[in-house]
Amino acid sequence: MYPFIHLGHFSIGTFGLCLWLASVCACWTLYRNFRRHGIDADAVGVAAYTTVCGVAGAKLWHVLEEPAMLMHQPFQVIFDRAGFAWFGGLLAGIAILMWLGRQAKIGDLGMLDLAAPAVSVGYGVGRIGCLVSGDGDYGIPTSLPWGMSFPNGLVPTNQRVHPTPIYELLVALLIAGYLWSRGAKFREEGALPMGQITGEYLVLSGVARFLVEFIRINPRIYWGMSNAQVASIGSVVAGFLLIAWGRRHRMASATRKTQAVALEAGSQH
């Protein structure tokens, strides 16, 4: 593994390079989604804002997970190149996307639905940064032929372990492909309620993260589960609630529209 690329006196972190690549891939996916739906919005700007806020949220969540260490070594914890929490990045990304959706006149849920495939692509590609830097996001020891060791990683190990970042990349791309196909109905009248695609992303990504944690080395803290698994449950619950809300809201809107048509027809007679 190669945590850093050394160029003379300068060192470039491979995690940062992969994060940049993830942002580019997410931007391209979002641009294509805007284009196929005829939406005039700045995909580059949306991707840039979301990446910066997502990284900040991921770092903040990780820092707040260990308040004791933050009190004793604040600068080391805050400016450490490692240590980013997936759920913190997700929450911050959702918040900035909702704000950008309102600014672009797409609507908060409309922007989230359009960005969901791009977010999944970006997350998956970003996981390659964890793999090449060997930052400890790998799994438990395994005898499977594709097991990998990370002797030169930021968190080194000579044991052959599950390359969980690769698993997450593959699943994230599958989720992105599914959401992309679902998004084909985005602009069809009544085909999908607002928030449906976002809700499905939250459910699918939450389930995927919950399952992969069983073969990762993260400590079990709450009821035999890791922090990420507890956050994943929250993601799944939020996703189902959003789907239910969207369907109920669509039904209510359809009912109001039917009543308005009936009143108009009655007034004409």
pLDDT in tens, 24-55: 999 999 999 999 988 888 899 998 888 888 87
Residue 45's contacts (CB-CB under 8 Å, 6 or more residues apart) are 100
Mean pLDDT over all residues of the chain? 82
Both tokens assigned to 197: 């695609």
Q: Is 111 exposed, middle or buried (0-12, 13-18, 19+ CB in 10 A)?
A: buried
Assess contact for 125 and 18: CB atoms under 8 A.
yes
Band (115; pLDDT cuts 50, 70, 90): very high
Element (H, E) at 252: helix 227-268
Lowest-pLDDT range of 78-82, 96-100, 107-111, 128-132: 78-82
Angle at CA of residue 185, ends 180 and 191, nearest 5°: 140
pLDDT for the residue numbered 144: 93
Alpha-carbon radius of gyration of the chain: 21
Name the more confident of 63 and 182: 182
Q: Any idea what DSSP says for residue 96?
A: H
Q: Are 194 and 141 in contact (CB under 8 A)?
A: no
